[in-house]
């Protein structure tokens, strides 16, 4: 095979990937193919597929982090600049954003509690308990005792994770909360300086932002391969008995994602006008949900959120700030997941769910969920240990069960974070005086998320 024919083959193969990103192709082709592939391959190949899927998730998230963090610094500098905005405008936006953020965190945790009470994860039949016992005895070596609890010290749970040290070192080591704090402080410092002194740095950050969008538009084509590798690897390696035994827990997480989608759709309709929605051919909340679900990373939905709200005539700086900060700080998918996991553990060990204890679950679920900022996949699961230690529930057995089915639940967690962050941005950002039509992005928008390929709703929001 010549080099030209080989290039043609790979060109045609990669041209199929954007087509597979449409929802109907996911259900018709990707999901059945992934399940069949997972049942046929050996455990060794399944492990390779899972590693490849996780590597592609990291690759997709790679440009999203500098994209969102540069947006934080730029937007904070613009919003709090005394030369461009009055103090009343700054206080108005800050109040709207923090009220929307806190209300959404509480609402998400409360939603997870209500669905958990209805679905009752952790209340197992005798066969389910037998399956879990067999799984732990045959596959794992559980040591329940004080060392497991003491290893999860809360002394550095908040302060050391929030206070920045070196923004470059923090970013390279995945200390996202520190990077967020450093970016906000840098943006506030930039807002105190004269525009002619900050313009070179803002221009550099804009260049980083634009390059990140272009890189993201390329790597998003890997989304179908991510789904195939992760689903096939999960089907092959996850113990079927455990999936059946924890079916209520799995269903509860997916129901929370779907309910969050419905709430975000209502918020989008309630806090936007008909004139703002007139330029849209589909509901962008659906696009955010599908994009986050297909990539396993809510960060990838930032360009879609930004382009959509800016095209509707919302204030650009406020959209940048609200979208980036809500995606980075809130981690609402982790909040709802942690609440469900805590109730699962309490039900598993037959701890009574009193009204006061449910309030404690909401508070601990929100705190541990937010503390998982910057963590992805199975790395988010151990943060639940702090809440389990508080309720004096054995930590290792619960974590083993959660880790066993986590590959399935990474995707709805990301989707929940994406759609609820979209709702926060819609509520927080204000309308410009100009008409939405005057503020629509051109057809050369970096990701082409609006006004292109409108024949069907694709996973990139088209």
Q: Which tens digit of pLDDT belongs to each residue from 391-443?
A: 888 877 777 777 777 777 888 988 999 999 999 999 988 887 544 444 444 33
The predicted pLDDT at position 34 comes to: 81
10 Å Cβ neighbour count for 36?
Answer: 12
**Range scoring the smallest mean pLDDT among 103-112, 260-269, 397-406:** 397-406
**Range scoring the smallest mean pLDDT among 215-229, 257-271, 350-364, 418-432:** 215-229
* Percent residues over pLDDT 70 in the chain: 71
What mean pLDDT, rounded, does the chain reach?
Answer: 75
The predicted pLDDT at position 258 comes to: 94
Residue 23 to residue 283: CA distance in whole angstroms: 14
Taking 80 as the threshold, does the pLDDT of residue 353 lie above it? yes
With cut-offs at 50, 70 and 90, classify the pLDDT of residue 184. Answer: confident
Which pair of tokens denotes residue 461?
Answer: 């929001």
10 Å Cβ neighbour count for 441?
Answer: 17
The predicted pLDDT at position 446 comes to: 40
With cut-offs at 50, 70 and 90, classify the pLDDT of residue 176. Answer: low
Residue 298 to residue 278: CA distance in whole angstroms: 26
- DSSP-assigned beta bridge partners for residue 431: 314
DSSP 8-state symbol, 84:
T
**Range scoring the smallest mean pLDDT among 138-142, 143-147, 266-270:** 143-147
pLDDT: which is higher, 264 or 173: 264
Taking 80 as the threshold, does the pLDDT of residue 250 lie above it? yes
Handedness of CA 206, 209, 213, 214 (dihedral sign): positive
Residue with tokens 């679905």: 119
The predicted pLDDT at position 452 comes to: 36
Residue with tokens 């406020």: 318
Taking 90 as the threshold, does the pLDDT of residue 24 lie above it? no
pLDDT: which is higher, 276 or 460: 276
Average pLDDT over residues 232-244: 68
Taking 70 as the threshold, does the pLDDT of residue 293 lie above it? yes
**Range scoring the smallest mean pLDDT among 27-36, 366-375, 393-402:** 366-375
Which pair of tokens denotes residue 256?
Answer: 């929370």
With cut-offs at 50, 70 and 90, classify the pLDDT of residue 339. Answer: very high
The predicted pLDDT at position 322 comes to: 85
Residue 245 to residue 184: CA distance in whole angstroms: 44
With cut-offs at 50, 70 and 90, classify the pLDDT of residue 254. Answer: very high
With cut-offs at 50, 70 and 90, classify the pLDDT of residue 178. Answer: confident
> Where does 44-434 sit in CATH, by number?
1.10.3860.10
The predicted pLDDT at position 142 comes to: 43
The predicted pLDDT at position 171 comes to: 63
Residue 304 to residue 427: CA distance in whole angstroms: 17
Residue 377 to residue 410: CA distance in whole angstroms: 6
Taking 50 as the threshold, does the pLDDT of residue 148 lie above it? no
**Range scoring the smallest mean pLDDT among 79-88, 108-117, 169-178:** 169-178
């Amino acid at each position: 095979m010549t080099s030209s024919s080989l290039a043609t083959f790979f060109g045609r193969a990669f041209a199929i990937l954007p087509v597979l990103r449409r929802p109907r192709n996911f259900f018709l082709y990707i999901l059945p193919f992934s399940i069949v592939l997972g049942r046929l391959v050996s455990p060794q190949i399944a492990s390779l597929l899972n590693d490849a899927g996780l590597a592609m998730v990291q690759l997709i998230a790679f440009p999203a982090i500098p994209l969102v963090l540069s947006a934080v610094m730029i937007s904070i500098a613009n919003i709090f600049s005394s030369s461009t905005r009055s103090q009343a405008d700054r206080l108005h936006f800050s109040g709207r954003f923090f009220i929307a953020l806190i209300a959404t965190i509480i609402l998400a945790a409360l939603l997870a509690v209500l669905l958990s009470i209805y679905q009752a994860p952790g209340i197992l039949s005798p066969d389910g308990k037998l399956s879990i016992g067999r799984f732990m005895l045959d596959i794992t070596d559980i040591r329940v005792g004080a060392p497991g609890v003491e290893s999860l010290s809360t002394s550095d749970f908040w302060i050391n994770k929030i206070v920045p040290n070196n923004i470059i070192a923090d970013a390279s080591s995945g200390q996202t909360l520190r990077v967020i704090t450093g970016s906000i402080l840098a943006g506030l410092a930039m807002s105190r300086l004269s525009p002619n002194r900050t313009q070179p740095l803002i221009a550099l950050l804009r260049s980083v932002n634009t390059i990140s969008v272009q890189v993201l538009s390329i790597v998003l084509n890997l989304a179908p391969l991510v789904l195939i590798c992760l689903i096939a690897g999960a089907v092959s390696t996850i113990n079927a008995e455990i999936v059946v035994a924890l079916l209520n827990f799995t269903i509860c997480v997916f129901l929370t994602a779907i309910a969050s989608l419905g709430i975000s759709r209502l918020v989008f309709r309630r806090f936007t006008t008909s004139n703002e929605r007139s330029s849209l051919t589909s509901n962008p909340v659906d696009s955010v949900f599908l994009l986050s679900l297909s990539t396993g990373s809510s960060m990838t939905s930032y360009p879609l959120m930004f382009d959509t709200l800016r095209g509707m005539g919302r204030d650009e700086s406020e959209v940048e700030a609200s979208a980036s900060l809500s995606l980075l700080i809130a981690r609402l998918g982790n909040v709802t997941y942690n609440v469900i996991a805590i109730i699962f553990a309490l039900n598993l060990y037959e701890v009574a769910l009193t009204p006061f204890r449910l309030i404690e679950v909401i508070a601990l679920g929100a705190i541990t969920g937010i503390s998982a900022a910057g963590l992805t996949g199975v790395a988010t699961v151990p943060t639940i240990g702090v809440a389990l230690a508080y309720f004096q529930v054995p930590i290792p057995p619960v974590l083993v069960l959660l880790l066993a089915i986590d590959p399935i639940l990474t995707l709805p967690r990301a989707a929940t974070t994406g759609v609820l962050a979209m709702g926060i941005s819609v509520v927080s950002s204000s309308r410009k005086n100009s008409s939405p039509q005057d503020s629509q992005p051109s057809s050369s928008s970096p990701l082409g998320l609006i006004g292109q390929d409108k024949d069907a709703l694709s996973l990139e929001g088209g």
